[in-house]
Amino acid sequence: MLNWIWLGLIVIAIAVATGRDISELSQDRFRNGKGIPLQLTADILKETSPDHFTASVFITKRNLSGFYSPDELKELKRDTVFGTIDIIAHSKSATKILGTASLNLSSDAPIIWKDIANAQGEEKKITGEVIDMIQEPLSGSRFAILIPEQVKFRILAKVANDGLFKTAETAVTIALGLIGIMALWLGIMKIAEAAGLITLLAKMAKPLMVRLFPDVPPEHPAMGAMLSNMAANFLGLSNAATPLGLKAMEELNKLNPNAGTATNAMCMFLTINTSAITLIPATVIAIRLSLGSKTPSDIIIPTFIATLVALTCAVIFNRFIQRFFPIKPAND
């Protein structure tokens, strides 16, 4: 099952990214290689240091729509888009400057510009070449023509960079971040075990647990570990829940005759865990409060009922379908 989900996610991701990239290239969405005419606001370039120039620039919506496909500019709010441009000149004369440039975008820049910036690895900056400064003969307005670096296969690049490399790093950060909290709760758990508290907990909830996990002996330490995980989840102690849950998995695995394959009890335990039943969804309430909700905690009751119903349905469903997933003894 996980094999298919995993394969599916990867294949769909690459197929979608390739498709979107090819469609962008075939429509020439970014007008690669063409220059954007940016008009200088005060018709002057300020020389901040030798060969470094800066100016505030603008482009009208009309000029933009002559340049990009009109669909790109639908969400544009104003008729003029402003920005500032920094130029490092390679050659200059009285009327003309050639150089590399970066256009700093304002917050109301069109999405296509933000996409170009992102493809170049920036938030709000488009880099490229400035090829000319045209003094329009009639009006005397001055333009900087910016040719952005070409944008090709940006989504595939994003899939590789953000999707693969960054998440691989995140995964390790998450795992390593668990070490401390894991050590803490596993230590506490060990004391509770030695003090006989886990067995006591298991005895108290025995009627329920025996029905949920018929394959686990009622007095087995796995029962107590699973219960303490459920209690932690219920009280919203999410950083305690994971270590206790992993402890429970370890105990359940001691009863597993086929290493590497999940037992019925493991699947049931996972199902209960993913139903996320919680007394108080504290994070959500905090966010609602910060966003100015007048009654931030009125979501507690619907949340609780939703999780309770989901939990009950999922437990029944899980029990029902387990027969369709027989355990194949590992021989590969």
151 to 170, contacts with another protein by CB under 8 A? 155, 158-159, 162-164, 166-168, 170
- Our finding on whether 296 is near another protein (CB under 8 A) is yes
Q: Does 189 bind another protein (CB under 8 A)?
A: yes
Q: Figure out which of the listed residues 179, 199, 205, 212 binds another protein, where binding follows CB under 8 A.
A: 179
From the CB of 31, what's the least distance to another protein, in Å?
A: 21
Closer residue to another protein in complex, CB, 83/281: 281
Q: How far is the CB of 118 from another protein (least distance, A)?
A: 11
CB of 149 to another protein, least distance (A): 21
Stated length of the chain: 332
**151: helix, coil or strand?**
coil
Verify binding: residue 16, another protein, rule CB under 8 A. yes
* Residue (180 or 218) nearer to another protein, CB: 180
In sequence order, which residues have a C-beta less than 8 Å from that of residue 181 and are 6 or more positions away? 239, 240, 242, 243
Q: How far apart are CA 4 and CA 135, in angstroms?
A: 61
Number of residues engaging another protein in binding (CB under 8 A): 108
Interface with another protein includes 192 (CB under 8 A)?
yes
The reply to whether 250 sits near another protein by the rule CB under 8 A is yes
Applying CB under 8 A, does 203 fall inside the site for another protein? Answer: no
Residue 199 makes contact with another protein by CB under 8 A: no
One character per residue 114-153, x = contact with another protein (rule: CB under 8 A): ----------------------------------------
C-alpha torsion angle, residues 24, 29, 34, 39 (rounded to 10): -150
**Backbone dihedral region for residue 46 (phi beyond 0: left; psi -120 to 50: alpha; all else: beta):** beta
- Residue 255 interacts with another protein (CB under 8 A): yes or no: no
Taking contact as CB under 8 A, which single stretch among the options 28-36, 77-85, 93-101, 267-275 is the one that binds another protein?
267-275
The least distance separating another protein from the CB of residue 126, rounded to whole angstroms, comes to 21
Cα–Cα distance between 100 and 86 in angstroms, integer?
Answer: 8
104 binds another protein (CB under 8 A): no
Choosing from 20, 124, 125, 203, the residue that interacts with another protein (CB under 8 A) is 20
Neighbour count for residue 135 (Cβ, 10 Å): 12
Residue 182, sorted as left (phi over 0), alpha (psi -120 to 50) or beta, turns out to be alpha
Kindly state whether residue 299 participates in binding another protein, applying the rule CB under 8 A: yes
Q: Which range of residues in 59-67, 71-79, 131-139, 175-183 is near another protein by CB under 8 A? A: 175-183
For residues 228 and 236, what is the distance between their CA atoms, to the nearest angstrom?
12
Task: Report how far residue 101's alpha carbon sits from residue 50's, in angstroms, rounded to the nearest whole number.
Answer: 15
Cβ–Cβ under 8 Å, residues 40 and 57: yes
Shortest approach of another protein to residue 75 CB, angstroms? 14
Cβ neighbours of 121 (radius 10 Å): 10
Question: H-helix or E-strand containing 272?
Answer: helix 264-274
Q: How far is residue 60 from each of residues 18, 93, 146, 152, 236, measured CA to CA in Å?
A: 33, 28, 15, 26, 53
Question: Which residue lies nearer to another protein by CB, 107 or 139?
Answer: 107
Question: Kindly report the CA angle at 223 between 217 and 224, in degrees rounded to 5?
Answer: 135
Q: How far is the CB of 322 from another protein (least distance, A)?
A: 6
